[in-house]
Amino acid sequence: MTAPLVAEAVSSGDQELARKRVCESLFLCNILGMMGTLTLTLFPRQILTALLLPADSPVLKYAAPYLRWRALGMVPSLIAATGSASYRGLLNTVTPLKVSLMTNGVNLILDPLLMFGTKGLVSSGGTKGFGFVGAAIATAVSETLGGMTYIHLLLRRKLATWSMLLKPPPLKSLLPLLSGGAALFLRYLALNVGFLVATRRAQLLDPSGVSGAAYGITMQIYSVGIIALVGMQNAAAALVPSFRGAAKKSTISGTTSDDDDDDDETNQAAVIADDKARECADRLFGWSTLVGLMLGIGQVVLLPVLVPLFSTLPEVQEAVKIPSLIAALIHVVNGPVLAGEGVMMGVGAYKDLALVTTGYILSMIGCLMFTPLGQRLDGIMWSILISSVVQQIGVVGHYLKVGPLARKKMKKLIKA
């Protein structure tokens, strides 16, 4: 929620409100992050067996310690996410890119050093590595660096102050953030549950692990592409409220009136703001649809190159082919979906977004649990594709028919 809140506050000229929203978000990051860290570090095995892996899975002896160490980076990771969103709200995407390059560069260097040690690199014998746990420690360290960097940047940009960071905000001030945050929490909870069900299905398809490995590779290739569409979502979440706030500010500041005309001016400002925001949203829908199409075509073309990078086993490579082609179709469907989700975030339609996401996940789980699709690896991907179509109908329908930028609602405002 931070990006659209900051964007609207800054574009309307209220720097103090933007600072307040950022500090409130950081406060919640610390509270929720500590709860998550404690839970994952104390009960990693129980969480993994409850959500993802069978109790007798040989993967547990690796997954549990990895998750425990990885959880140490949760608080700084959330702080970094808030910092990144704050800068996107300022329409500054270069700073988050620089921080991301820095933290991922540190992670890239620390991964081999902490996994394999420094033996052979130094003349005095070097140190022993931590194995797979070293990868988790490297990620936690790089995320801590990212969190500290964003705290420094937010203080320097005056989007945060130490006095506001150290003082818990009043509950009344947190209520808008908590209500919208609760809706987004349900959305992300639904997403995680849905994809956990899909992952568990893939893991249980065959004892050899080929299907699980093929599903993991398919989703990794898909995740690389989806980053571009998530970028469109983030752009919509920041640009739409920015256009609305700037239009309202310019309209009101450019008009002189007496008290009797206040309502007319407010209505005029709302119409202009929503009209500008809709123009922006229309362009974002078009570009995101084009990006989704290009991603789908690009993934199909590059599959012969990408798959061998993940596995040299012929049976795994063969198992990846059809699911990855279906994943390419999902990119095409997701083009307008991600833009629409960003627009819904930008206009504050968090509850509607949570409802659409819940419908998306329920349709996915329904296909996986109650149809033959859940019994095959390609069927799992078909289930995700079908549910993505359902999601597209919900998101685009909201934008065109019932959302605050719907043309019918704008015509009513003009008539009023």
- Assess whether pLDDT exceeds 70 at residue 247: no
Supply the mean pLDDT for the chain.
85
Mean per-residue pLDDT for 262-286?
Answer: 74
Instruction: Give the number of other CB atoms < 10 A from CB of residue 73.
Output: 24
CB-based contact 349:4 (threshold 8 Å): no
Residue 51 sits at the vertex; the CA angle it makes with 46 and 54, to the nearest 5 degrees, is 75
- Look at residue 410 in the predicted model and tell me its pLDDT: 56
pLDDT tier for residue 385 given thresholds of 50, 70 and 90: very high
Please tell me the least confidently modeled range out of 33-42, 49-58, 282-291.
49-58
Domain segments of the chain: what residues?
A: 1-169, 175-254+261-416
pLDDT band at residue 408 using 50, 70 and 90 as cut-offs: low
pLDDT digits (tens, 9 = 90+) for 193-227: 888 889 888 888 887 888 888 999 999 999 888 88
Q: Which of 21-25, 98-102, 288-292, 408-412 has the lowest mean pLDDT?
A: 408-412
What's the token pair of residue 402? 């019932």
Q: Given a cut of 50, is residue 252 above it in pLDDT?
A: no
Over the stretch 278-335, which tens digit does the pLDDT of each residue have?
Answer: 888 999 999 999 999 999 999 999 999 988 888 888 999 999 999 999 999 999 999 9
Name every residue whose Cβ is closer than 8 Å to that of residue 235 and which is 6 or more positions away in sequence: 284, 342
Phi, psi of 236 (to 5 degrees): -65, -40
| CA 299 – CA 317 distance, rounded (Å) | 15
Torsions phi, psi of 169, nearest 5? -70, 155
| Pick from 229, 272, 284, 270: nearest CA to 399 | 284
Q: Are 318 and 373 in contact (CB under 8 A)?
A: no
* First-residue to last-residue Cα distance in the chain: 30
> In a 10 Å sphere around its CB, with 0-12 CB exposed, 13-18 middle and 19+ buried, how is residue 111 labelled?
middle
Amino acid at position 13, single letter: G
Q: How confident is the model at residue 409 (pLDDT cuts 50, 70, 90)?
A: low
Residue length of the chain: 416
Q: Which token pair is 229?
A: 């569409």
Q: What are phi and psi of 206, to 5 degrees?
A: -150, 145
Query: Around Cβ 380, how many Cβ atoms within 10 Å?
Result: 26
Q: Which residues pair with 128 in a beta bridge?
A: 117
* pLDDT tens for each residue of 121-160: 655 666 777 888 999 999 999 999 999 999 999 999 999 9
Task: Output the pLDDT for position 234.
Answer: 86
